[in-house]
Amino acid sequence: MTQQIAPLSAETSQYLDSMRGWIAGHLPEESRAEFASSGVKLQVLAAMLNNGWVGPENTWELHAMGAVFGDALAQELELEWVQVSDEYGTDPAVRVPGSTVLSFPLTIIAKRVEQQSMGDVYELFGAAMQGILDAAHRADADTGQAGQ
């Protein structure tokens, strides 16, 4: 089965919203409006990781962190959330609009925490952004749209 890309279902949107809410809940009530900023999202994730608030056994919580990481990527690179289905199931992803360039951020932090290889969240964010930009550039070059 090839990948099928579709808009997020209502169920998946609610699932991601519950994850975002859990992360935002770590901020004082008076600071939650600031959570709209990608920089604040990354600060919260860094604090959670640096203080060991979430361990490798906390899969849902790690995926919640990945959802917020994906939101920050989407904000910075103007990506859109979609869901991707294949023979293994359906997962949320961020996509460069109008392309097949995808990133699956829900597991990006979880994999590293589980492997005890989680470095600096800001470095990971920079590397993820660069990877998406590089993939988008290659995709544009392959379709003859580079520089348009």
pLDDT tens by residue, 35-48: 889 999 999 999 99
What local confidence, expressed as pLDDT, does residue 143 receive?
63
pLDDT tens by residue, 47-78: 999 999 999 999 999 999 999 999 999 999 99
What local confidence, expressed as pLDDT, does residue 118 receive?
86
What local confidence, expressed as pLDDT, does residue 9 receive?
96
Is residue 35 one of the residues assigned to a domain? yes
Is residue 148 one of the residues assigned to a domain? no
pLDDT tens by residue, 104-121: 999 999 999 999 888 899
Measured CA to CA, the distance from residue 83 to residue 3 in angstroms comes to 10
Q: Is 79 exposed, middle or buried (0-12, 13-18, 19+ CB in 10 A)?
A: buried
Domain count for the chain: 1
Range of the domain at 53: 4-143
What local confidence, expressed as pLDDT, does residue 73 receive?
98
- Residue 133 is encoded by which pair of tokens? 């930009």
Is residue 67 one of the residues assigned to a domain? yes
Nearest Cα to 3, choosing from 81, 90, 98, 94?
Answer: 90
Q: Which percentage of the chain shows pLDDT scores above 90?
A: 76
CATH, residue 80:
1.20.120.1090
pLDDT tens by residue, 138-148: 887 766 654 44
